[in-house]
Structure 1
Amino acid sequence: MSEQSADPAADLSDDVRLPKEQPTPAFFESKTFRLISLVLYLGGISGLGMVLALYYLIFFDSGMPDIHLKFPVSIGGQPVQKVHEYQ
């Protein structure tokens, strides 16, 4: 027959470890990885903002189109702005 110990707690596996015996956490669970990923995220967001700002400074045409000359705004049939001939 099988032997049964008098102490029922002895049958349980002993998983209790002291703090200095615990294994070091994996890199992806460490504080260093969290800090590196935070810096990369903030750098990516800031970098994309800088690229967008450079686009607007260099390439974006902020001139007003002349559509207001062809279709003047009017209130009650009276033009609000001076009407020019569209060329």
Structure 2
Amino acid sequence: MAEQDQEAEPLPPDVRLPKEQPPSPFFETKTFRLISIFIYVSGISGLGMVLAFYYLIFFDSSMPDIHLKFPVSIGGHPVQKVHEYQ
């Protein structure tokens, strides 16, 4: 514990640490804000378009045939037409 409480040794005189650079003034402008909003909205819209194309091209929306084997009934009467299986 005592070793952790001690301060770090000072750096030798021939070692220089880089100076911290201030942020560019461009990042504080209204132009940068508008560009970043445009990129954000474009990204969200682009992902929505990709999802829409997926559903249009690849998604299989056909209903499974399980409702033909196990029809839903209300009061003992089937709601849809029941096919007979042999």
| TM-score bucket (shorter structure) | 0.5 to 0.7
Q: Cα 1:44–1:79, aligned 2, differ >3 Å: closer, same or farther? A: same
RMSD: 1.8
Q: Which residue of 1 aligns with 2:73?
A: 74
Unaligned runs of 5+ in 2: 1-23
Task: Name the aligned partner's letter for residue 59 of structure 2.
Answer: F
Tell me the TM-score normalised to structure 1 length.
Answer: 0.65
Tell me the TM-score normalised to structure 2 length.
Answer: 0.66
Aligned length: 63
For 1:65 and 1:79, the matched residues in 2 are separated by 18
Q: Which residue of 1 aligns with 2:13?
A: none
Asked if 2 retains the 8 angstrom alpha-carbon contact of 1:69 and 1:86, the reply is: no
Identity %: 83
Structure 1 residue runs of 4+, over 4 Å off? Answer: none
Q: Residues 24-83 of structure 1: CA distance to partner in whole angstroms, max 9, x if unpaired?
A: x82221101101101101110110011001101110001111111011010111112221
Unaligned runs of 5+ in 1: 1-24
Asked if 2 retains the 8 angstrom alpha-carbon contact of 1:72 and 1:81, the reply is: yes
Q: Cα 1:48–1:70, aligned 2, differ >3 Å: closer, same or farther? A: same
1:63 is paired with a residue of what secondary structure? coil
Q: Which residue of 1 aligns with 2:83?
A: 84
Once the 2 structures are TM-superposed, how far is the Cα of residue 86 of structure 1 from its aligned partner? 5.0
